[in-house]
Amino acid sequence: MKRGTIILLVVAGLFLLLIFNGCGSYNNMVSQREATESAWAQVENVYQRRLDLIPNLVNTVKGVANFEQKTLTDVIQARANASSIKVDASKLSPEQIQKFQASQGELSQALGRLMVVAEQYPQLKATQNFLELQSQLEGTENRITTERQKFNDVVKQYNTYIRRFPQVLYSGIFGFDKRGYFEATAGAEKAPEVKFE
């Protein structure tokens, strides 16, 4: 064989290798991006569960005479704010997640204040409906924590994959951007005292 033919075959072989590697990397990036979007959908699902429980809780609390109206109003407003924040699952930028997390954090604080104030009303604490809603909210908060952790794990895997060589070459070309994480908010180490009795 001529030297020119050998060089052409080597170049063609390297080109095909690059194409096959690029296809495999692209398909893996698509799969991992879909996994992050699926994990995000589950996070939204458990937050929605909490949003759905709040009207029942507020209505139960309203039944108690002289309950602090400002506390109820704060919870209702925080719920409205939290439900108005929508995150595009195809982007999941750190800024979008921070904004979502901030609105959900405000709702958590309002709920915490509601539960603390509820401690002052023995007749409310004795209501079966209130106790069941407390239990469901507690379970939902645990689910939120679990789903956020799963989301962060999937995002870590995706972000690591698209930043490794040779995927980093393809991720920029095909628009696979880094995804954001749920992070602890400032002051999160000082959790509000909420008593469930």
- Residues 176-187, mean pLDDT to the nearest whole number: 78
Please, what are the domains in the chain? 42-174 (1.20.1440.20)
d(CA 141, CA 115): 14
pLDDT of residue 23: 86
pLDDT of residue 65: 54
| Per-residue buried b or exposed e for 85-105, using 16+ beta carbons within 10 Å of the residue's own CB | eebebeebeeebbeebbebbb
Q: What are the pLDDT digits (tens) for 50-67?
A: 999 988 888 888 776 566
pLDDT of residue 150: 96
Confidence of residue 186 (pLDDT cuts 50, 70, 90): low
pLDDT of residue 31: 94
Higher local confidence (pLDDT), 38 or 184: 38
Q: What are the pLDDT digits (tens) for 114-170?
A: 888 887 777 777 778 888 888 898 899 999 999 999 999 999 999 999 999 888 888
Residue 188: pLDDT above 80? Answer: no
Residue 196: pLDDT above 70? Answer: no
d(CA 140, CA 135): 9
d(CA 112, CA 123): 19
Q: In sequence order, what are the residues at sequence separation of 6 or more whose Cβ sits closer than 8 angstroms to the Cβ of residue 150?
A: 39, 42
Most confident of the following: 28-42, 52-66, 85-99 = 28-42
